[in-house]
Structure 1
Amino acid sequence: MSTSLLRPPSLLRLLGAWRAKDSAEPAYRQLAQALRMLVLDGRVGLNVRLPGERELAAALGLSRTTVAAAFDRLRDEGYLESRQGSGSVTRLPAGNGDMPPDERDIGGSSGNLLNWTHAALPAAPGVARAYAHAVEALPAYLGDLGYDPLGIAVLRRAIAAHYERRGCPTHPDQIMVTNGAQQGFSLLLKWLAGPGDRVVIDHPTYHNAIQALQRAHVVPVPVGLPAQGWDVDAMEAAFRQTSPRFAYVIADFHNPTGRSMDPATRRALVAAATRSHTPLIVDETMVAMGLDFAPPPPVAMHDPSGRQVITLGSASKIFWGGLRVGWIRADPQTVAALGRLRTTMDMASPVVEQIAVAQLIDADVGLGERAGMLRARRDHLLGLLERRLPHWRVESPAGGLSLWAELPRAEATALAALAESLGVRIAAGPRFGVSGAFERFMRLPFTLPEDQLEAGVERLVEADARLHARMPKGRDSLAMALDADRLI
C-alpha cells in the first residue's frame, strides 16, 4: 500500500483549536489526543505519513520535545508506526478494525468507548415486514436482468406519489433511485462540477457533503446561518459573486442545527437561484424527522419541473440505514443524463431493497410512535445539559436527531479529544464546517437510550472539568519535564 504525505498546513487546518490554553493537561497529551481523534474519525486516513517532528513543532510553535512525546504516546497506543525512510505513519491498534465502534476498548481505565457520533436510529418497526413482502414479490422480477440504473418502476412511482401527497406534482420519469442520498450527491457533484469549481453551502452543514466536495477538489463557499433561519440575501450575493456550479442546502430539520426553512424563505431562495441560474440541490434526508411540527411543502414545489431545484431523498433516516436506498428528483433530461453517468460507477440498486422501500413509502407511516420516543430523549438530554453543563447554550430543535450545543469558548476539538480519552466519542463542530469553523460548537445526537445519554453527559462533564482545571491533580515526570514548553 502506498504512503501519502500530510503536509503541516493541511494538518494544522485539521487540528483546529486543539489546545486549551488554560488547561492543566500537558501540551503533548493534548496534541496526541487531537491526532488520535483525527485518525479515528477518518479525517486523517490510514497509512498517511505525518510531518516530521521538527517540521511539525515549528508549524505549531512548540518544542520538538513536545511533539516527540506526543508521537511516542501514539506509537505506544498503536496509532503511529515508525518506518525506516518513511517517518511516522498512521495506523490503527491491532484488532481495532474488527470490532464495532461501540465495543472498542479505548485502552484505558475508563472502559469501553461510548460512540456518541451517530445521528441515526435502528430499523423502524415495519422494515422486517417490508423485506418479507419484497422476498414474496421478487419472483416477478427474476425474468429481467435486474440492471436498471434509474430504479425499478414500482419504487419510482411510490416516490413520485409521495411528493404528490406533500404538494409537489411529480412524474416517475423525474425520479432516479440511488444507493443512498450520498451516492446521489456524488453523482450530482460529478455531473455538475469539476476540480477548482465553486459550490455554495449553508454553514454549518452535513459533514459528508463537505468531505465529498473537498475530495473532488471542489471549493466550498460557505454562507453562514444567522441566529434564526437562513440569510437568502447572503446566499444570493454568493451566487452573484462566486458563480458557483450549484448550491447545496438542507432545508428540513437541518443537520446539525435542527432548524427548518419556512415557506417564504423557500420561495425566496428558489427565486434567487433562478435569477442567477444557479442549480439548487436540496437535501431532504431529514424531512421526515419533524418532532414539533410537520415540514412545509418541498422546496421543489416552487420549481415542479425540476430544472432549477434538484432534490435528494433517502430511506436511511426514516426507515433504516441498512436499506441503502436514496433518490434524486429532477427534470427527466437530468435524470436520464445521471442514469448514463451512473453506469460508469455502478449498474443499479439492489432489487429486494427497492421493493421493500416502495412498500414502506406506500404505507406512509412516518415516524409514528418513535416521534414520542425521540421527543422524550431530546428533552431528557436538554435537561441533563442544563443541570450538568449550565454554561453551555443549547436550543431545542424542532426536529432532526441531534442538538447543536454552543460552548463558551472555542475549544470543541480539544474537548472532543479529551472526552475520547475518558470513554466517549463526540463530533466537534469543525467537522461540520470549513477552514476550522465552529470550534465553539458540538453536535450531540439524542438517538441513544436515556441511560447512555446520562453516561455520555457525565463523561463530558468530567472532560470539561479536566480541560479547565487550573491545577493538575497529578503529573507524571514527563509532564513536569515538558512544563517549560508553556513558556516558549
Structure 2
Amino acid sequence: MTSRLVDQLGAQSVAGASAAGLADQIRALILDGRITVGERLPSERALATELRRSRSTVTRAYDLLAAAGYATRVHGGGTRVALPSGSVAPVPSDDAGAIDLSIASMDSTPGLYDATVRSLPRLAALRGTSGYSLQGLPELRDAVAQRFTQRGVPTSAEEIMITSGALNAMNLILAAIGRRGERALVEQPTFPHALESLRRHGYRLLPTPVDVDGWDTAHLMDLLLRSRPHMAYLIADFHNPTGATLPDAARSRVAATARSAGTHLIVDETTAELDIDRGWTPVPMAAFGPHVLTIGSMSKIAWGGMRLGWIRAEPGIIARLLAVRPSFELGTALLEQCIAIELLDDMPALLGHVRERLHAGREAVAAGVARLHGLTMPTTPGGLSTWLDLGAPISTRLALSAREHGLILPPGPRFALGGVLERRLRIPITLTPERTAAAMDRLAAAWTAVGDRTAESALPLQRTAVI
C-alpha cells in the first residue's frame, strides 16, 4: 500500500526527478494544502522504496525542504511538514499583495445589497420562531423547486433541502447515505474539495477522464458497470476545471448505466448557470431518475460569502438527510435564506450580470495568454475558469515560480489523483479585467523565469552535443 505522499505525488510524475525536483514537488503539495502542516512524511528508506529511487536522493530532498523551512527533522522522530516563517515566507509581500487564483469566485452581484435590504422584513417576521430551519424555509424551497421546473424537471418543495453551501450539501449526503470502504467514481480532473470529502468519508476513488472536449463516455459507463461504485460525483455543466458540458444524449446513457450499476449519482450544479455563449441549454441530470442527487449553490452566481446551497433528491433521501443533519448542524442561517428568496425572484437580472462579468474576465485572460508563447487557451463558453495547455509537463514548476512573483496558482495535479495533469493549469475568468490583467502580468514573469531555468538546465547537454 502506497503512502499518502506518494498517492499525491504520483510515482510516475517524479520518476527520474533530481533531489531538487522531488523537493519542489513536495513543496508544491504543501503550498496547495494537499499535504498538511505537522503531517509526518514517510521515512527516507520507505519513500526511496516506493519511488524506486536511491535513499541518498530522498535524503537530499528532505534536507532541501528542511533548509527552506518546509520540513522539520527530529532524530528518532522522523520528518514532519512545516511552513517557513519570518523572512522566508512562501509568498513575497508587496504593495498590491499576492493575487490568489486558487479560488475561482466573483465578488458580489450589484443586486446583493438591495436584496439584503428587501429581505429584512421577512427576517423580522421570523423572530417569533425558534430560528432553526432544518430543511429550509418553505418559501425558499419552493423558489428553488420552481427553478428546476423552469429548467425542465418538475420539482416540489418536498424534494428540496437548503444547506450551508454546496460542499456542506456534499458532506451531508455522504454522512446520510455514504458507506466507508466503498468505491466512488470521480472525474479526472475535478473539484479538489470533493475528492477530499470523499476520501474523508472512506471512499476508494476511481477516476474517469474529462478534457476540454468532454468525457470519454465509453470509459465512464464501462467503469460504472465493471466496478459498480456506490457513488459517482459528476459536474455535467461547465465542468470545473475543463469547462466541458455533457451532451443530453450522454446524460441519458450515463444515468441509465448508473441506475443499472446501483450507483448514486451526485451531480454538482454549482456552475450550471454560468453561461456566456454556449448556445444551447442541456436537460438537468435530475430529469433522468430518482438515483440522481443534485447539489447547487448561490455562491457562484451571487457571492462566495453567501454560504447557501441546496440538495434536490427524492423524498425518501430527503428524510434520511433530515435524520442525520442535527448531528452536526441545525439548519442554514435564516438571513441568507431570506436574501436568497429575493435573489431567486430576479434571476434574469442576476444571470445577466454574471454573463457580463464572465465574458469580460474571459477576454482579459485570453489577452494575457496571447502574449505567452507556448500556452493554448481552449474555447471557454462559460463556467469559472479556463483549462490551459502549457505544452509541457511544467505546471508545478510554474506554480512555484508564480509564488515568487506574488501569484498563487494551483497546478494541474491539484485537480487530479496521482500527480498527473502536469501539462495543465486552471486560470479563473471570475476576476475583474483589471485584476486579471495584473495576474497575467505576473504569470508572464513566472512563465519567462521557468523558461530561463529550463534553458539553463539543458545547457550542459547542449554543450556536450556540440563537442
Does 1:180 pair with 2:165? yes
User: Partner amino acid for 1:375?
Assistant: H
Q: 2:176 aligns with which of 165, 176, 191?
A: 191
**1:183–1:227 CA distance, 2 compared to 1 (3 A):** closer
What are the ranges of 5 or more consecutive residues in structure 2 without an aligned counterpart? 460-467
Task: Tell me whether 273-282 or 315-324 shows the greater mean CA deviation.
Answer: 273-282
SS in 2 for 1:48: coil
Aligned to 1:377: 361
Question: 1:49–1:272: structure 2 CA closer, same or farther, 3 Å change rule?
Answer: closer
In structure 1, what is the equivalent of residue 206 of structure 2? 221
Structure 1 unaligned residues grouped into runs of 5+: 1-6, 97-103, 474-488
Identify if the C-alpha distance between structure 1 residues 419 and 20 changes in structure 2 by more than 3 Å, giving closer, same or farther.
Answer: farther
Q: Note if contact 1:423-1:459 (Cα within 8 Å) is conserved in structure 2.
A: no
Match 1:246 to one of 207, 218, 231? 231
Q: TM (normalized to structure 2)?
A: 0.88
Q: What amino acid is the match of 1:450?
A: T
The AA in structure 2 aligned to 1:194 is: R
Find the partner of 1:91 among 67, 75, 82: 82
1:74–1:295 CA distance, 2 compared to 1 (3 A) = farther
Distance in 1 between residues matched to 2:455 and 2:300, nearest whole Å:
39
User: What is the deviation of 1:226?
Assistant: 5.7
1:10 aligns with 2:4: yes
Cα offset for 1:94?
Answer: 4.5
Do residues 265 (structure 1) and 256 (structure 2) align? no
Code of the residue aligned with 1:207 in structure 2: it is: P
C-alpha RMSD of matched pairs (Å)? 2.9
Aligned to 1:44: 35
Deviations 1:364-415 (A, max 9, x none): 13332342232132123223223313x2332121111211112323232233
Of 56, 62, 66, the residue aligned with 2:60 is 66
Contact residue 446 and residue 453 of structure 1 kept, 8 A? no
Cα deviation code 1:21-67 (max 9, x no counterpart): 79xxxx55544443333222211112212234565456443536622
Cα shift at 1:332? 1.1
Match of 2:372 among 378, 385, 388: 388
**What are the superposed Cα offsets for residues 317-349 of structure 1, whole Å, 9 maximum, x if unpaired?**
111111110100011111111011111121111
Larger displacement relative to structure 2 (335-344 or 287-296): 287-296
> Residue type matched to 1:213 in 2?
L
290-299 or 122-131: which moved more?
290-299
| 2:330 matches 1:347 | yes
Task: Render the CA deviation track for 1:178-209: whole Å, top value 9, x for unaligned.
Answer: 11110111122223332220111222111111
2:108 to 123, 127, 148: 123
How many aligned residue pairs are there? Answer: 450
Structure 2 CA distance for partners of 1:115 and 1:20, relative to 1, 3 Å: farther
Secondary structure of the structure 2 residue equivalent to 1:317: coil
**Partner residue of 2:315?**
332
Q: Does 1:136 align with 2:130?
A: no
Q: Partners in 1 of 2:181 and 2:411 — Cα distance?
A: 27
Could you tell me the percent identity over the aligned residues?
Answer: 32
Within-5 A mapping of 1:275-290: 275-290=260-275
Question: Within 1, Cα distance between the matches of 2:46 and 2:367?
Answer: 46
Of 436, 441, 446, 1:455 maps to 441
Q: 2:196 maps to what in 1?
A: 211
TM alignment of 1:409-424, pairs within 5 A: 409-424=392-407
Distance 1:19 1:438, change over 3 A: same
Contact 1:37–1:420 at 8 Å: present in 2 too? no
Distance 2:5 2:212 in 1: 31
